Amino acid sequence: MPQTHDLVIRGGTVVTPLASEVSDVAVNGETIAAIGKDLRGREEIDATGLLVLPGVIDAHTHMNLPVRGTHSSDDFESGTIAAAFGGVTTIVDFTVGGSETSIPEDIDRRRADAAPAVIDYAFHAEVIGWRPGREWEFRDAIGLGVASFKFYTAYGDSGRRTPFDEMKTAFDALSEWNAVALVHCEDDGLIASIAERLSPEEIGRMATLAEARPDVCERSAVAQVARLAGETGCQTHIVHVSSKLGLEAVREGRSKGAPLSAETCPQYLLLTRDVYERSDGHLFSASPALRTDEDRETLWRALRTRDLDFVATDHCPFTSAQKEWGGDFRALPYGLPGVETLLPLLYSEGIGRGILGWNDLPRLLSEEPARRFGLHPRKGALEVGADADIVLFDPAQTWALSAEELHMNTDFSPYEGREIRGRVVATISRGETLVEGGLFRGTSGRGRYVARSA
């Protein structure tokens, strides 16, 4: 007699990076138990006409992040509820580093912050104020399940920048443990030299942001980091690539043998620096700055050719009140909301315009981030034995994106009014249906910390 499973998702098109096929997906407890035909379940969901995707992994979020005297407006509860409405079932957020604490202490404190999360979560550790001789912090952090470490080549004025000689020492240590270094790549020296020449009039224009942090700053920093990665053998990930020049530096580094991966974000795929000229242009403050149409189209092509490995959001939301214009583009908190709109935007703009195919979605949003950061095969895959993190997505549904109807804790969206094709119908996390019929059915604190090994 056929086995009866706890849950069967029946008749949807199961989409993996390799194939798309109408199948049933069976779940027992928290894991995927079978994929096939005519499966039986005590509970069944009719997915006819829907895409069945692995849960999205947003590998770059900033919940409750302290920035310029305020905090990003989503905490771990509101941010992960919004994530679930967008089909995201795992986030990788960041510790909040500082010169007065160790990386292991930062991890413990951040785990307490994340306790109300409704989906699963992991962390990258910020490396701020670290000095050679404290390599034990990396080892102990790996023991706590954090195997990726975030460095900055910019923001020297706030103490976040790691000098390249110290970064090399850190990369040597991380290479020994096969951990991953993430790097925010903008050349601090170039940015400072530009800032010195800005007039008061230029400082008072939002559009100056694109001129003050130009694409050449990204290229310069990526090239230097790629050289360190090549010399040390450290697995290195370049976050939020924004430009054609930055992408070229990634390609060149790889051609010379540097072990590099790289991501981009929806804002760099969909927006350009022209938005800074709008009356609400200050709401688009982010770093790196937005670029040109040529940059945007180049990044889209790089997703298809695999020169970019995946897409993450850099979700760091603020309200319009937090971003009130005070006459100085440098004084704004930098960051944009995105965790809830990642999947529908990539489907609508990527597949809808014929740039991507269905199979690119699970590759770019699930499998590749899971593999890069040690979450695979538990996460990021529709495979027997994997966590039952599953998204049901209607490719035919159309809707107008509006911040008022979203669940992120902000009152604006960078994509306000955009016509979207494709929408999340249901989100399942470890076998539990969190979102269905536009309603949230989960509970605060049900998310779990996912410890990773190097």
Per-residue model confidence as pLDDT tens digits over 107-125:
999 999 999 999 999 999 9
DSSP secondary structure letters along 305-366: HTSS-EE---B----TTTT---S-GGGSPP-B--TTTHHHHIIIIIITTTSS-TTHHHIIII
pLDDT digits (tens, 9 = 90+) for 398-440: 999 999 999 999 999 999 999 999 999 999 999 999 999 999 9
Peptide bond before residue 362 is cis, with ω within 30 degrees of 0: no
Q: Confirm if 149 and 179 have CB atoms less than 8 A apart.
A: yes
Fold of the 55-372 domain: TIM Barrel (3.20.20)
How far from the centroid of its chain's Cα atoms is residue 282's Cα? Answer: 22
The pLDDT score that the predictor gives to residue 141 is: 98
Closest CA to 120 of 427, 438, 454: 427
Buried b (16+ CB within 10 A) or exposed e, 327-343: eebeebbbbbbbbbbbb
* Domain boundaries of the chain, sorted by first residue: 4-53+388-397+417-438, 55-372
**Radius of gyration of the chain, Cα coordinates, nearest whole angstrom:** 21
Return the half-sphere exposure (C-beta side, CA atoms, 13 A cut-off) of residue 45. 27
pLDDT digits (tens, 9 = 90+) for 209-261: 999 999 999 999 999 999 999 999 999 999 999 999 999 999 999 999 999 99
Q: Confirm if 440 and 85 have CB atoms less than 8 A apart.
A: yes
Q: For 84, phi and psi rounded to 5 degrees?
A: -60, -40
Peptide bond before residue 344 is cis, with ω within 30 degrees of 0: no
Q: Which residue has the tokens 């979203």?
A: 406
Buried b (16+ CB within 10 A) or exposed e, 117-156: bbbbbbbbbbbbbbeeeebebbeebbebbbbbbbbbbbee
Closest CA to 173 of 198, 189, 143, 149: 149
Residues in the chain: 454
In order of 366, 410, 416, the CA distances from 93 in angstroms are 16, 19, 25
Q: Confirm if 75 and 116 have CB atoms less than 8 A apart.
A: yes
CA–CA separation, 358 vs 17, rounded Å?
Answer: 8
Residue type present at position 53: L
Q: Confirm if 329 and 285 have CB atoms less than 8 A apart.
A: yes
Cross-strand partners of 392: 52, 426
Residue type present at position 224: Q
The pLDDT score that the predictor gives to residue 146 is: 98
Buried b (16+ CB within 10 A) or exposed e, 74-98: bbbbbbbbbbbbbbbbbbbbbbbbb
- Which tokens is 15 given? 């989409």
The pLDDT score that the predictor gives to residue 302 is: 98
Q: Confirm if 394 and 417 have CB atoms less than 8 A apart.
A: no
Q: Do 4-53+388-397+417-438 and 55-372 share a fold?
A: no
Residue type present at position 62: H
All residue ranges of the chain with pLDDT < 50 are none
Q: Confirm if 200 and 175 have CB atoms less than 8 A apart.
A: no
- Alpha-carbon torsion, ordered 264, 269, 273, 278, to 10 deg: -120
The pLDDT score that the predictor gives to residue 68 is: 87
The pLDDT score that the predictor gives to residue 1 is: 63
Q: Confirm if 77 and 440 have CB atoms less than 8 A apart.
A: no
Count of helices and strands (H, E) across the chain: 14, 19
The pLDDT score that the predictor gives to residue 454 is: 82
278: number of Cβ within 10 Å: 12
CA–CA separation, 79 vs 87, rounded Å?
Answer: 13
Contacts of 28 (CB under 8 A, 6+ apart): 5, 6, 431
Indicate the pTM of the whole model: 0.98
Determine which helix (DSSP H) or strand (DSSP E) holds 54, and give its type and residue range.
Answer: strand 51-54
CA–CA separation, 88 vs 81, rounded Å?
Answer: 9
Q: Which CATH architecture has domain 4-53+388-397+417-438?
A: Roll (2.30)
